[in-house]
Amino acid sequence: MAEKSSSRRNFIKTLTAGTAGLTLGLSARSYGNILGSNDRIRVGIIGVGRQGRGLMGNFLDESDTEVVALSDVYKPNLDFAAAQVPGADTYSDFRNILDRNDVDAVVVATPDHWHGPNTILACQAGKDVYVEKPLSRYIEEGRKMVEAARQNNRVVQVGTMQRSGRVFQEAVEIVQSGDLGPISFVRTWNYGNDYPEGIGNPGNSAPPEGLDWDMWLGPAQKRPFNINRFGVVLNEKMEYQRWASFRWFWDYAGGMMTDWGVHLLDIVNWAMEVEAPETVTSVGGKFYLQDNRETPDTLSASYQYPNFVCTYENRVLNSKPIDEKGYGILFHGTEGTLFVDRGSLRLTPEPGSKLEALNMEVEENARAKHVRNFLDCIKSRNKPICDVEIGHHSTVTAHLGNIAFRSKERIEWDREQERATNSKKANELVSGFHREPWTV
């Protein structure tokens, strides 16, 4: 194992340096935006809610970065963020940021249904983009985001920041080294308990003061305002009382599968060197939570690849963990089992295996490293560690789990065409819905 450990250390050192050598093509339009290693990068933040504020802090921590513009459709969010960045211009319409010639890059931290229009328009405006996960609300939309990045020669980093984490890089190296032997089964999961009330069951009402509800809906179906659809619950100090609950409505997101599952499935794709499954089945439902969410409280998805099966499980009715872990990834090989989450890695040899047990605890800020990688790639024009194409493949995998669940069909997937070969209903969900004028 000593030789393997040395190779893993070299692997980590290489990845930490970024993905050098994968250079984006540059058009004449792009040359004016290329920055030298000492130039400051001027950034606009689109969406300054809880996640946007956290990312804003990461960018403010970098000495070569200046946050010059903020945008949000909810004025209390915008005012609170502006107080943290004196001098930054504020806008209720994100397009005002895109119109500025002095903005080099934007951060897209809006709800999921806005990621596509925000990113595509930003690329067309000549901005590099850091876009939160999941990349897209719909698979077809995600492919158009990739095309927009390539056609406009933009650096687009997807916010699956685990790829920048040392513990996950170590896990990927172990899997790809072959030490675990052939791997036929991979398990991913998130467990918790929100029974019985979940997010509650409030009625529709008028939007709060300072919210442009129609603009918040944007490309999604026109709906009456409901506090759970909007999802933002703040106290008097402008502190978030929970993660925004828009995640649990199909118009805007994909539940735990695309909120958390995409992080785990992204690492599976990377470690196992795959882009998409061949077939997908999902079962589950909203069985016992007494709230107005639409996404399931229990879900089990199975992904068939050429040489292995991967499962994703989510339940919010019982929090009993697996090996004391409420979430994580398990790679099951003939020689051993590897567990990984954001803070630890554990290798357990099979009986009779020559592998040595390994336990690793890690404390690091992977998101800060992910932001740094993005900024470095803006200057070098290299592809970032989670380039838009990579983020698209991982998002497709998560979406397929939901599509199989919602269509109630076994999905046979054509990876090249990005269409189901056996289901009209599934392909309707692949294309999705965009309200005018936000078609993509």
Q: Which of 121, 66, 134 is nearest to 93 (CA)?
A: 121
* Other Cβ atoms closer than 10 A to 416: 6
Angle in degrees, CA 71, 74, 79, rounded to 5: 70
Report how far residue 251's alpha carbon sits from residue 295's, in angstroms, rounded to the nearest whole number: 10
122 and 186 in a single domain? The answer is: no
Of the three residues 245, 269, 302, the one that is the final residue of a domain is 245
Most distant CA atoms of the chain, gap in Å: 66
Burial class (CB in 10 A: 0-12, 13-18, 19+), 412: middle
DSSP per-residue letters across 217-258: HTTSPP----HHHH---B-TT--BSSS-GGGGSTTT--HHII
Would you state the pLDDT for residue 20? 33
- Whichever domain contains 47, its CATH number is 3.40.50.720
Question: In a 10 Å sphere around its CB, with 0-12 CB exposed, 13-18 middle and 19+ buried, how is residue 365 labelled?
Answer: middle
Position 296 in a domain: yes
- 380 within domain boundaries: yes
Residue 345's CB is within 10 A of a number of other CB atoms, namely 20
Q: Is residue 440 part of a domain?
A: no
| Confidence (pTM) | 0.92
Please answer whether residues 150 and 30 qualify as being in contact, where contact means their C-beta atoms are separated by less than 8 angstroms.
no
pLDDT(4) > 70 = no
In the DSSP assignment, the letter for residue 180 is T
Number of domains into which the chain is organized:
3
Q: 320-367 pLDDT, tens per residue? A: 999 999 999 999 999 999 999 999 999 999 999 999 999 999 999 999
How far is Cα 43 from Cα 361, in angstroms, rounded to an integer? 34
pLDDT of residue 38: 61
406: pLDDT strictly greater than 70: yes
What pLDDT is attached to residue 36? 59
CATH at 425:
3.30.360.10
Of how many residues is the chain composed?
A: 440
Query: Do the domain assignments include residue 9?
Result: no
Distance CA 322, CA 244 (A): 27
b/e burial code for range 274-301 (CB count within 10 A of at least 16 → b): bebbebbbbebebeebebbbebbbbbbb
The mean pLDDT value of the chain amounts to 92
- CA atoms of 354 and 232, how far apart (whole Å): 52
Question: Does residue 149 contact residue 143 with C-beta atoms inside 8 Å?
Answer: no
Instruction: Work out the percent of the chain whose per-residue pLDDT is above 90.
Output: 88
Same domain, 261 and 135: no
The answer on 408 and 286 residing in a single domain is yes
Element (H or E) spanning 280, and its range? strand 279-285
* First-last CA distance in the chain: 50
CA atoms within 13 A on the CB side of 84: 21
Answer whether residue 1 is part of any domain: no
Radius of gyration of the chain (CA): 21
Distance CA 440, CA 433 (A): 10
The long-range contacts involving 211-216, CB below 8 angstroms and separated by at least 24 positions, are 211/73, 211/74, 211/75, 212/73, 212/74, 212/92, 215/73, 215/92, 215/93, 216/73, 216/74, 216/111
Instruction: Output the pLDDT for position 239.
Output: 83
Examine the pLDDT at 19 and tell me if it is beyond 60.
no
Residue 27, pLDDT > 70, answer: no
pLDDT at 178: 98
89 in a structural domain = yes
Please answer whether residues 300 and 282 qualify as being in contact, where contact means their C-beta atoms are separated by less than 8 angstroms: yes
Residue-wise pLDDT for 360-393, tens only, equals: 999 999 999 999 999 999 999 999 999 999 999 9
What six digits make up the tokens of 356?
Answer: 């040595």
Q: How confident is the model at residue 35 (pLDDT cuts 50, 70, 90)?
A: low
pLDDT digits (tens, 9 = 90+) for 97-135: 999 999 999 999 999 999 999 999 999 999 999 999 999
Give pLDDT, residue 241.
Answer: 84
- 296 and 415 fall within a common domain: yes
Mark whether 176 and 309 lie in a shared domain.
yes
Domain assignment present for residue 182? The answer is: yes
Q: Which two tokens stand for residue 3?
A: 């030789």
Amino acid at 238: M
Residue 264 pLDDT class (50, 70, 90 cuts): very high
- Note whether 78 and 125 are same-domain residues: yes
Find the mean pLDDT for residues 209-225: 98
Assess contact for 263 and 289: CB atoms under 8 A: no
State whether 241 and 103 are in the same domain. Answer: no
pLDDT tens figures, 123-168: 999 999 999 999 999 999 999 999 999 999 999 999 999 999 999 9
Burial class (CB in 10 A: 0-12, 13-18, 19+), 218: buried
Q: Write out the residue range of the structural domain in which residue 278 sits.
A: 165-196+252-364+393-431
Residues 170 and 158 in one domain: no
Same domain, 185 and 309: yes
- Asked if the structure places residue 187 within a domain, the reply is yes
- Together in a domain, 352 and 291: yes
User: 183 and 39 in one domain?
Assistant: no
269 and 169 in a single domain? The answer is yes
Q: Any idea which residue has 């995998």 for tokens?
A: 397
